[in-house]
Amino acid sequence: MSNIAVLAGDGIGPEVMVEAKKVLAAVADKFQFTLKTQDYDVGGAAIDIHGNALPDVTMKGCQAADAILFGSVGGPKWANLPPTEQPERCALLGLRGHFDLFCNMRPATLQPALSSLSTLRSDISAQGFDVLVIRELTGDIYFGEPKGRKGEGDEETGFDSMFYSRREIKRIAHLAFQAAQKRNNKVTSVDKANVLATSQLWRQVVEEVAVEYPNVTFEHLYVDNAAMQLVRDPNQFDVMLCPNLFGDILSDICAMITGSMGLLPSASLNSDGFGMYEPAGGSAPDIAGQGIANPIAQILSAALMLRYSLNQDNAAKAIEEAVGSALDNGILTADLLPAEQRSNAKTTSEVGDYICAQINTANIEGA
Ligand SMILES: NC(=O)c1ccc[n+]([C@@H]2O[C@H](COP(=O)([O-])OP(=O)(O)OC[C@H]3O[C@@H](n4cnc5c(N)ncnc54)[C@H](O)[C@@H]3O)[C@@H](O)[C@H]2O)c1
Ligand SMILES: CC(C)[C@H](C(=O)O)[C@@H](O)C(=O)O
Ligand SMILES: [Mg+2]
């Protein structure tokens, strides 16, 4: 039996998590395995109850679990707290740092047949899009010290430190090349080596690692060019290897190329294979509480959890196929529809129900 710590968090987090749990129950039933999920408070919701975005009981629950399924944290109510107490820094970065979840994978796929979902022009999106962003997640300017503020008046300064060690770059670069070998054999490494010392080291180390993978096509791009190329010709990419900050930004672009922030899942893994799984998007305060959020990123994150942490690849595939069928058949939340068609949008729970029904009725190998 597998134990999952479920941390739904804030805003749309709890709404989309209900659907992911329904889908997990559907595949567990279909494929005859047992999953025990246990809910824990996290983020702003935990601040309101426990006075802390990452309470001890939540951390202990995560430590005892086989994997963490995470929703999203943060929102205007907690945005003015001291930085170290904010939900994003304390809970999300706290968990990533504590478990050393250095490898963040964000697979963004747009089937040519679904090109109308993309926010790119149809002649560009119709070529399809299939990119795996491999984002280093525990280094860079996110975790570098010192960071803070000092001084007063016009002389007050805010400062962050950007660091990368050779060890950190090497381990993520190897994973990117290995991932490319299982895909389309191309790695694009993203940096800002024309300005940043960290990026100069990044470029040098990635080049050294690339030599060990002679069959993988390899290139460097500066991050500004990478952002431009993604919207100019997204189909040219396979694996995009990114430092923490650039990967954060480029993965949001990838999400929109596939249609919505609400579609992009992620897996964050450490070197022991322990993982936390979460949508790439956030708590979406602008739509929270209305039952209209897209649950697919959360559901696909649960599928990644089944694949990478629970060794249930068939169940993961069944979820991915059911999601594909929802998109194919126009079972779409409002974020995937043009303004004039939003009155036909499905609700969060209608999309979740459709995906569960597809799983229940599918004739699936291994089930
Ligand atoms: N993993 C996380 O917990 C995480 C990730 C990103 C942002 N955040 C936090 O979330 C809060 C809001 O941040 P933001 O507004 O910059 O980014 P966001 O990703 O929450 O929202 C950006 C836009 O995308 C839309 N969107 C996102 N997810 C969606 C979904 N599932 N369905 C439909 N639309 C969706 C939102 O409605 C909004 O218009 C902030 O506090 C931020 O720090 C948390
Ligand atoms: C909320 C924030 C700290 C987080 C990040 O920047 O990593 C988010 O944007 C993400 O993409 O997971
Ligand atoms: Mg982000």
Residue 364 has pLDDT above 80, yes or no: no
What pLDDT shows up at residue 111?
Answer: 86
Q: How far apart are CA 278 and CA 13, in angstroms?
A: 10
pLDDT digits (tens, 9 = 90+) for 37-59: 999 999 999 999 999 999 999 99
Pair (26, 162) in one structural domain: no
Pair (154, 216) in one structural domain: yes
- Dist. CA 212 → ligand 3 center (Å): 31
Tokens encoding 350: 């209608």
Are 186 and 154 spatial neighbours (Cβ–Cβ below 8 Å)?
A: no
Region of poorest pLDDT, from 5-14, 118-127, 162-171: 118-127
Structural domain contains residue 162:
yes
Beta bridge partners of 5: 38, 68
3 labelled ligand-binding = no
Residue 322 has pLDDT above 70, yes or no: yes
Q: What single string gives the DSSP state of each residue in 276-289?
A: EE--SS---TTTTT
Q: How far apart are CA 226 and CA 260, in angstroms?
A: 20
Q: What single string gives the DSSP state of each residue in 221-269?
A: EEHHHHHHHHHH-GGG-SEEEE-HHHHHHHHHHHHHHTT-GGG---EEE
Residue 212 has pLDDT above 90, yes or no: yes
Q: Is the ipTM of this complex over 0.90?
A: yes
From 205, 232, 259, the end of a domain falls on: 259
Q: At 362, is the pLDDT very low, low, confident or very high (cuts 50, 70, 90)?
A: confident
Q: At 366, is the pLDDT very low, low, confident or very high (cuts 50, 70, 90)?
A: low
**CATH classification of the domain holding 148:** 3.40.718.10
Pair (223, 149) in one structural domain: yes
Residue 363 has pLDDT above 90, yes or no: no
- Dist. CA 248 → ligand 2 center (Å): 6
- Dist. CA 250 → ligand 2 center (Å): 12
Pair (245, 323) in one structural domain: no
Q: Say whether 130 is catalytic.
A: no
What pLDDT shows up at residue 298?
Answer: 98
Are 130 and 114 spatial neighbours (Cβ–Cβ below 8 Å)?
A: no
What pLDDT shows up at residue 306?
Answer: 98
Pair (114, 247) in one structural domain: yes
Tokens encoding 100: 């050393």
Structural domain contains residue 130:
yes
Residue of 40, 192, 308, 346 with catalytic role: 192
Candidates 249, 266, 335, 342: which one to mutate for ligand 1, based on the most atoms within 8 Å of Cβ?
A: 335
Pair (292, 221) in one structural domain: no
pLDDT digits (tens, 9 = 90+) for 163-189: 999 999 999 999 999 999 999 999 999
Instruction: Enumerate residues with CB within 5 Å of ligand 3 (an ion).
Output: 248
Return mean pLDDT, the chain: 96
If one counts every other C-beta atom within 10 angstroms of the C-beta of residue 122, the result is 9
Residue of 224, 233, 313, 328 with catalytic role: 224
What pLDDT shows up at residue 126?
Answer: 81
What pLDDT shows up at residue 59?
Answer: 98
Q: Is the CB of 88 under 6 A from ligand 2?
A: yes
Q: Reduced to 3 states, what is the DSSP secondary structure of residue 200?
A: helix
- Dist. CA 163 → ligand 2 center (Å): 18
Q: Is the CB of 242 under 6 A from ligand 2?
A: no
Residue 324 structural domain:
1-101+270-367
Structural domain contains residue 213:
yes
Structural domain contains residue 144:
yes
Provide the number of structural domains found in the chain.
2
Q: Is the CB of 199 under 6 A from ligand 1?
A: no
Pair (142, 253) in one structural domain: yes
Pair (255, 114) in one structural domain: yes
Going from the C-alpha of 106 to that of each of 134, 174, 265, the distances in angstroms are 7, 16, 6
| Phi, psi angle pair for 125, to nearest 5° | -70, -25
Structural domain contains residue 265:
no
Angle at 17 between CA 314 and CA 303, to 5 degrees: 15
Q: Is the CB of 133 under 6 A from ligand 2?
A: no
Q: At 112, is the pLDDT very low, low, confident or very high (cuts 50, 70, 90)?
A: confident
Pair (26, 72) in one structural domain: yes
Pair (351, 298) in one structural domain: yes
Give burial (CB, 10 Å; 0-12/13-18/19+) of 185. Answer: middle
What mean pLDDT do residues 192-208 have? 98
Pair (67, 125) in one structural domain: no
Pair (303, 167) in one structural domain: no
- What amino acid occupies position 298? Q
Sign of CA dihedral 142, 234, 239, 276: positive
Structural domain contains residue 264:
no
The secondary structure element, H or E, covering residue 45 is: helix 44-50
Q: How far apart are CA 63 and CA 81, in angstroms?
A: 27
Task: Name which residue sits closest to atom 6 of ligand 2, judged by CA.
Answer: 248
What pLDDT shows up at residue 367?
Answer: 62
Q: Is the CB of 255 under 6 A from ligand 2?
A: no
Q: Say whether 308 is catalytic.
A: no
Q: Is the CB of 267 under 6 A from ligand 2?
A: no
